[in-house]
Structure 1
C-alpha cells in the first residue's frame, strides 16, 4: 500500500493568481498583448540582423541570439500562463512540468553566458580596437554562441535528469505561475540532497562566473574609456555599451531577486511578480532597448519600412 501511494501523483495543479475573474481577464489580455509584441519585436531583430548588411557584425549577431533566447523563454511560459488565467488554475503532468523548467532554466543559463560574451565583445572593441576584426571573426562568434547554447542546455540537463527520477506522493499543488525547481523539490517525497548539491555545484557557477566576467570586462572598459582625452570620444565609447548594460542590469537584478536573495518572509505574490519580470517583461523590453538606443537598428527598421512602402507604390 505504501509503495502504491508513492506513485499516486502524476500531475500538479498550478494555481497562478488567485484573484477575481475580471482581474484575471485583464491580466490575460495584458500578457497576450505583451507576448505578441515581444515575439514580433524579437523576430524583427532576428530578421533585420539576418538581412541588413550593416548589421552583419559580432555585436548584432549576439543581439539576434539573445532575441532567439527571449522568444524561447516567453513561449515556454506565457501560453501556459494564459491557460492558467483563463481557467483559474491548470493541471500539468509531472514530465511537462519538468520540461517547462528545463527550457526555462536552459534559456536563462544561455543568457547568462551570452551576456558575458557580449561584454567580452565590447571589451575587445573598446580596449583592442585595432585587433577587433581579427579577434571577433564570424567563425569565432559562431563558436562562442554554440558554446553558450551547449553549456547552458547540458548543464541544466544534469540535474533535470535527477529531478525526473523523483517520486511525488504528497500534495500536488504549486502556488506559482510556472514550474520552478524550488517548488518541485519541496513536493518531492524522495531524497533531494544530491539535486541540491548539483544545483550548488553547477547552477551557481552558471550565474556567478558570467557575472564575474562581465564585471572584469567593464572594469577594463571604464579604465580605458577614462583615458580617452576628448569628452566626445568617451561619450561615444560609453554609448556602445549602454544598451548592453541596461539589459544586464535588468536581467541580473531579477534573477538575483528570485534565486539568490533569501525568500523567507517574502509574500508569494511578490515572488510571482519578480518571476514575471524576468520571464515575460524582460523578453518584451529587450528589443525595445536595443531598437530605441541603437541608431543602426533604428536605421535598419526605417530602411525596411521605406522599402516595403516603396514596393506598394
Structure 2
C-alpha cells in the first residue's frame, strides 16, 4: 500500500513540477518576457514552484519514513522465539557398520591398521603368495596404474606392512576400500569396502580362528548365532575355509535373505601360509597365525535388506537419510 502511494506521489510530482510540466514551461517563458517585467514574472513562477513543490516534497519525505518504519517492523526478530534447528548430517550406513565392526574387534584386543590404496606388486601379490600366473594378477581383474603399481585388490596388503613394521606377535584388523575390475550390478561394484583380520603369535591354531570368528558373529548378530566353516582355497592361507552364519532374520529356518538355506555366506579365512609369514619377515617355524576377511558392503546389504549394492554409492540423500 505504501509503495503504491509512493508511486502515485512520484507521478504527481512529474506531472506538476517535472521537466515536462506546465510549471517547467513557464520557467522557460520567463526568459522571453521584457526585461523590466522579467523579475516580477520570475518571482511569481518561483513562488508557484514553492507552493506546489514543497508540499509534494514534504509528503514524499513522510511517506519514505513510513515505508522505512514498516520495513523495520517486518524485519524485526523476536529474540524470545526458539531457533530453527539446522539439518543435521549423519554417518553413511557403511561407515556406521565399519565402526561397529571395529568396536567389536577392539573389544577382542585387536588394533586397527590403515594403509595406502596404491600398492606395488610385491605387497599386492608376491607377499600374499599369489604366483605370477595367477588370474588375479591379470589386467582384466586388477586396476594397474603404472608398471609395478596397482590399486589394492584386498586389504591383506596392510597385514604385510603391519608385520614388517611391528613384527610378531600381532593382532589387527584392516578395514578399507579395495578395487577390482567388476562390472557394476546389484551385487558387484568396482570399488567396495572390506575388513580383514590377522592374528600371529606362538601356538595359534585353527581353533583360535574358529573361536574368534564365532565370537565376532555372536556380538554382531546375537548370542544365538551359529557359525560353520567350509573347506576352500586361498593362496595366502593353508588350510583355508569359508565361513557362514545362521540367518539373523529367520534363525536358520529359511527366508528370502538366506535364500531359504538358513545360512548366510560371509567371508573367507584360514591359517596364514608360511610363505606369507616369510615375506613379512616372520619366522613360520616359531610363529603361526590366522587371517579372515569379509565384505562390509555385502554385510550392509544383508542387514538393511537392500536389493542393490549400488544404492550405497549414489549419494542420494533421500535414500541415505533413512539410516539416521
TM-score w.r.t. length of structure 2: 0.24
Larger Rg over CA atoms? 2
Q: Determine which structure has the larger strand proportion and give its number.
A: 2
Higher relative contact order (CA 8 A, sep 6+): 1
TM-score w.r.t. length of structure 1: 0.25
Q: Determine which structure has the larger helix proportion and give its number.
A: 1
